[in-house]
């Protein structure tokens, strides 16, 4: 292999750098703007670095920015999102794992049909379920609460998580389950002792996917939650749209980054296990 740069190589790298810059530019603008003062923003260039690095916009965004008539910053809504996302991700993932285990390893009459119906759930547009879901939440008495949002996301997420786990478990030889049955293990023992320990990679995939979906969801948040229980995505929208004369771009930027940080964090932490876990099983020679 030749190490020197040929013209073709050079072109490839140039294109890659260009695309990378194009992609990173908004992040750069957001970060620098969030550390600028309002004066700095008015005087300077969009791409310039802050004249003085100021954390004021960040503390305002976190604790005292106004979203509508409330002026408590993002922190309450951030916690709302955490309270909504964590249980919704965990519950939908566990349900998906059990569902996937059943439709791949314990086929019963109609299990394929059931799986197909679940699959269709992945393609139902959000808008279609809004009204019936609002009605249901009303009947259950959990309209406008975080619990209600958790329920909505669990129901909607189960289709995806089932698909993920089912597709993972069909690659696991069913002889493992047979061996377990002959050894005397029951349904749950086989699941917890034999299959769950090898399911690490698919858990990571599923959690990343579900976390991103639920944390970033806006529509369900805006429809099914009100005031106190709104998730951060809705709060961010309100914050950006609330203006008291001056548009505080630095606070908007800081708030947006705060709203995006958890998903970034999940990618960074779990991404490693994602790659590492993929080849761990090794059932066959």
Contacts with another protein by CB under 8 A lie at: 109, 173, 175-176, 178-185, 189, 193-194, 197-198, 280-285
Closest distance of CB 176 from another protein, Å: 5
Closest distance of CB 151 from another protein, Å: 33
Comparing CB distances to another protein, the nearer of 193 and 272 is: 193
Buried (b) or exposed (e) across 186-206, using 16+ Cβ within 10 A? eeeebbeebbeebbbbbbbbb
Closest distance of CB 280 from another protein, Å: 7
d(CA 154, CA 53): 42
Closest distance of CB 107 from another protein, Å: 11
Comparing CB distances to another protein, the nearer of 42 and 193 is: 193
Comparing CB distances to another protein, the nearer of 190 and 254 is: 190
Comparing CB distances to another protein, the nearer of 68 and 173 is: 173
Q: What is the 3-state secondary structure (H, E, C) of the chain?
A: CCCCCCHHHHHHHHHHHHHHHHHHHHHHHHHHHHCCCHHHHHHCCCCCCCCCCCCHHHHHHHHCCCECCECCCCHHHHHHHHHHHHHHHHHHHHHHHHHHHHHHHCCCCCHHHHHHHHHHHCCCCHHHHHHHHHHHHHHHCCCCCHHHHHHHHHHHHHHHHHHHHHHHHCCCCCHHHHHHHHCCCCHHHHHHHHHHHHCHHHHHHHHHHHHHHHHHCCHHHHHHCCHHHCCHHHHHHHHHHCCECECCHHHHHHHHHHHHHHHHHHHHHHHHHHHHHCCCCCCCC
Closest distance of CB 186 from another protein, Å: 9
Closest distance of CB 170 from another protein, Å: 15
Comparing CB distances to another protein, the nearer of 52 and 182 is: 182
Enter the tokens of residue 137.
């939440």
Comparing CB distances to another protein, the nearer of 76 and 200 is: 200
d(CA 158, CA 124): 13
Closest distance of CB 175 from another protein, Å: 4
Comparing CB distances to another protein, the nearer of 52 and 282 is: 282
């Amino acid at each position: 292999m030749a190490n020197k740069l040929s013209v073709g190589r050079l072109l490839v790298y140039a294109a890659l750098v260009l695309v990378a810059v194009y992609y990173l530019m908004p992040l750069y603008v957001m970060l620098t703007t969030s550390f600028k003062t309002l004066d700095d923003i008015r005087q300077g260039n969009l791409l310039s670095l802050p004249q003085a690095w100021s954390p004021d916009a960040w503390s305002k965004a976190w604790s005292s920015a106004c979203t509508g008539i409330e002026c408590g910053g993002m922190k309450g809504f951030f916690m709302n999102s955490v309270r909504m996302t964590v249980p919704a991700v965990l519950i939908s993932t566990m349900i998906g794992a059990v569902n996937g285990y059943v439709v791949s390893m314990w086929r019963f009459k109609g299990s394929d049909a059931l799986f197909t119906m679940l699959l269709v759930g992945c393609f139902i547009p959000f808008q279609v379920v809004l009204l019936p879901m609002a009605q249901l939440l009303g009947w259950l008495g959990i309209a406008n609460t975080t619990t209600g949002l958790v329920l909505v996301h669990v129901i909607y997420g189960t289709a995806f998580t089932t698909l993920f786990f089912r597709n993972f478990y069909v690659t696991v030889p069913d002889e493992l389950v047979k061996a377990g049955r002959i050894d005397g293990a029951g349904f749950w023992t086989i699941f917890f002792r034999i299959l769950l320990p090898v399911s690490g990679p698919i858990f990571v995939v599923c959690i990343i996917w579900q976390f991103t979906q639920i944390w970033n969801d806006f529509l369900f948040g805006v429809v099914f939650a009100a005031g106190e229980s709104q998730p951060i995505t809705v709060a961010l929208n309100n914050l950006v749209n609330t203006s008291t004369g001056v548009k505080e771009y630095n606070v908007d930027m800081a708030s947006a980054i705060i709203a995006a940080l958890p998903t970034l964090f999940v990618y960074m932490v779990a991404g490693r296990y994602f790659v590492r876990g993929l080849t761990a099983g090794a059932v066959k020679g």
